[in-house]
Amino acid sequence: MNADHARHYFRETFAAEPDVIASAPGRVNVIGEHLDYNGGQVLPMAIDRRIYVAIKARPSETLSRVVSENQSVSAEFDIQAILRSGQWWDYITGICAAFPSRDARLPQIAAVVTSDLPSASGLSSSAALEVSTCVSLAALVADKRALKDLALLSWNVENQFVGVAVGVMDQFASALSVEGHALHVWCDTLDVEQVPMKEAVLIFDTAIPRSLRTSQFNQRREECDEALRLLRQRDPELENLAAAHPDEVRAAHLPATLEKRALHVTEENLRVEALVAGLKKSGSVSGETLYASHESLRTQYECSTPELDWFVDNARKIAGVRGARLTGAGWGGCAIAVGDFDALNDAKDELCTAYESSFRRKPKVWLTYAAQGVRVELNNQ
């Protein structure tokens, strides 16, 4: 999949050349799960699977049209009067609704979407679609807003227009990642740093689709908010849940469910700091830190599945694998194993065969390194 494919599909669909094409990657989170909306630290990296958005301005038309190569239903809408539909194109129309500023007005558009990034797998396809749309629109109208600002715009769209209460990590990873690096993000201050990340990552899609709209994601966020409210009764100056120490959580004697959620958040934040320090010092990922993260997600945040647990348990047995964990919000989707490229490459087929035998589902796997974030592939403006 590349920009030429997107350009060809646009020609086939609209019998015209696109004005701009932008692409944005999916991401895996190396560590720091469910911390972004709790004010903690996260360490995502972009992967080498991308969504491409090709757009042409149609100022003389009264409606815009968006077509996806991977969706059977297309959309027509007035870009000046956008309404939420509950359909896949909300990620695009939401960006179109939020994008205009005093210096940037949008014409009606024709757009196509092509992708080799699977949806509903925990790899942030929604953020990649939002960010690629946002950057392509910026190129279309020569908008000069910084990538960080466009990432924040995309994040606001997912929260306020699409209606999924996510943190900022996914959009930042898709927009700001640099090849060969993981992106260390402080989600409370929005500060970022690039951390060298040279190890190979095997992404294992369990073929259990998940959607943040229908998973227990919003419930977990509400539980974390309630835990923070109770902790602030003891410490009114507590800025966010991740800023608490695990000892504070235990001392507060929260209701059992809320204590488990808060312990995951506070301990996971410490694990991010430890893993980043290790990467800077040795260039290697701490496998035991990854395994500890997964165990916490399984028992304290309760967002794993038998399929995700199976992968982590079996990856642990492979020589050359340093660590494994679920990635993304959980409740299905993907897990990762980090380690030597050759070891992961040699093991992937056997893992797939054994998994299919155990669960009667055919997984998808691919090897990746830390990839580049969003980029403009074509600009004929």
Point out the residues that are catalytic.
170
Residue tagged 């059992």 (tokens): 256
- The per-residue b/e assignment along 33-42, b for 16 or more CB within 10 angstroms, e otherwise, is bbbbbbbbbb
Helix, strand or coil, per DSSP, at residue 85:
coil
Token duo for residue 139: 């190129």
> Which amino acid belongs to residue 88?
W
The single residue listed with the structure tokens 């919003």 is: 218
| Helix residue spans in 165-255 (DSSP H) | 169-176, 217-234, 246-252
User: How many other CB atoms sit within 10 Å of the CB of residue 150?
Assistant: 24
HSE-CB for 213 with a 13 A CA cutoff: 13
Q: DSSP 3-state assignment of 46? A: strand
Q: Which of 192, 265, 191, 194 is nearest to 228 (CA)?
A: 265
- How far is the C-alpha of 346 from the C-alpha of 338, rounded, in Å? 13
- Find all residues with CB under 8 Å of 164, minimum gap 6, and list them: 126, 158, 212, 213, 217, 218
Structure tokens at 331: 């409740």
Query: Which residue is listed with tokens 């155990």?
Result: 358
